[in-house]
A and B are shown apart, each in its own frame.
Chain A
Amino acid sequence: MAKIILFVEDSASVRQVMSSTLTREGYQVILAIDGQDALTKLDGRKIHLIISDVNMPKMDGLAFVKASKQIPSYRFTPVIMLTTETQAEKMNEGKAVGVKAWIVKPFQPPQLLAAVSQLIQA
């Protein structure tokens, strides 16, 4: 049974490549273009991991993570933030809302895959 990952990213190129990379690694990927779109995907289905950008239109990544933690089914779903954001304040904000890992763009796909594997097995 393939593990399911919700990938939230407004950049089409990053969405395209990472979706393909994760699928090739055997994961099932659900795509969302911003936080608001991602919340509609949290409809009770099992999701093993969430990967989200921070700066997105309509609803940013941190607000989405905060909202997702209010839904009992996804309270303990691990979250990786994938962002250009380097400021410590934002990182601390992420940590406070329950983010497990913070990856600053640009990143190597294997780097993200390693983090995904680590958090899904944990």
Chain B
Amino acid sequence: MAVGFIITIVGLHFRSRNRYRLSLQSIEQRLLERLNQENEEKIQALLDEHNNKVLQDCVKQVESDRQRIGILLTDLANRFGTLSKRLVGQGEEITGRVGAERLPIEALIADLSQRINALVSHLDEQYAVSAKQEQGIVGLDSLCQRILPIWSNQVEMARVHTEESIADLAQRFDALSQRLDAAVTRSQNTVEGDKNSQGGIVELLKDSQLELSAITKALGTSLEDKVQLFRSIEDLSCFTEKLSKMASEVSSIASQTNLLALNAAIQSARAGDAGRGFSVVAEEVRKLSRSSGDVGRKITETIESVNEAIEDTLKVSRRFARQDKATLDNAEQIIAVVLKHFSQAAAGLVDSEELLRTENKAINHEISDVFVDLQFQDRVSQILTLVGSDLNKLEQHLNALKNEQTIEGLSRSLDVEQWLKELSTTYTMEEQLAAHDGAKKAIMTKQSNITFF
């Protein structure tokens, strides 16, 4: 029973618990539904509010965009008007709406569309006219295709001919300059001597002057020695006078001795036989005195002969000395005159050499200037090369266009602006660019500065 009771109690407990849970679920369900409904209402309200705001913003944005588009369309219409004027002609317009009051966008677009159609029609007419005109120049392409290589060849021939001629000219000027330098160097060496210590005319003249001075000095010295010799000879004549006097004295002594011997002989004769021996001695003394007298006379005669010889020698020597002096004086004068002439000639040569050197310097400067002028060829060559290259390019382009048209039936086209732009990028000189833009500018001929980096 108790078990049955407990089971009943437990069964009731679970039943009541289940009911409670169901009740709670029901309440929870209702609460959720109510909350969802409230949330949806709030969300809807917020969405409505947001949509209204977005709508207002969009309306404003659309209005703003419409205004901006309107301005752009008006500007486009104005620009289109300008374009139309340029394409069609000054003062002529496709439509009369340019500059009108601001119109609605749709009206602007319609107006613009109408004007574009009108312009396209006009351009079609123009194209038709130009096509007719183009067809009018029959054979222009063929002419270009044939004449362009000829022009190109002519330009190249002119360029090569100029280059060869200028190179030859430059070589000749260079040879002239070298020959002139060599001539000046030779002249300088002749006048002043060269680096190998070979004396020139000026040095030779100085040496000759010194050598000739030495010779005249030696001759002068020789003349002085002769004068000294004359004096010695004259002194010798003094000695002969003394010798003559001494010879006279010898003769006088001999005469007195002879007289003395004669007196001795007389006295010995008076003495008789006692004096006979003395008489012999006296006789011998007389003989000696006579001999002495003879010798004295001979000495005197010899001295006179010597004196005459010395006198004759002195006369001849004095005459020679006068001649030598005259010859020496004359030689000095002649040497002085000759050296003077040589000096004048050498001075003239020095002046000529200096003039030659100055002229050579001036001519070399001129040749240097000529070389600057000759450099035009290099610049002209570059210009002609570029022109020739562009002619070739045009010829190739025309050939390509012709092939395209023949093979594929494509319309011919040439982007002139692009062509000119490409050509302008190939220039190397300012003058080329200036000429490209239509200016007439001479090729620069003045020397330029160096830029060091």
- Give chain A's interface residues, CB within 8 Å of chain B: 11-14, 16-17, 20, 24, 54-55, 83-87, 90-91, 94-95, 99-111, 114-115
Contact = CB atoms under 8 A, between A and B. Distances in A.
Given A13-B163, A14-B375, A87 B174 contact: no
B453 A86 contact: no
Given A13-B167, A13-B169, A13-B377, A106 B428 contact: no
A17 B169 CA distance: 10
Contacts of A94: 453
Given A17-B371, A20-B174, A55 B382 contact: yes
B166 interface: yes
A84 B429 contact: yes
A87 B429 CA distance: 7
Nearest to B164: A12
Contacts, number: 99
B336 interface: no
Contacts of A101: 450-453
Contact of A11 (B163, B171, B446, B447): B163
B112 to A, nearest CB: 44
Main secondary structure of the interface of B (DSSP, over half): helix
Contacts of A103: 448, 450-451
A76 to B, nearest CB: 14
B241 interface: no
A94 B376 CA distance: 23
A11 B451 CA distance: 22
A80 to B, nearest CB: 8
A109 B368 contact: yes
B447 A108 contact: yes
Contacts of B429: 84-86
A14 B378 contact: yes
- Which interface residue of B170, B174, B378, B445 has the most chain A CB atoms within 10 A? B378
Nearest to A57: B385
Contacts of A54: 428
B167 to A, nearest CB: 4
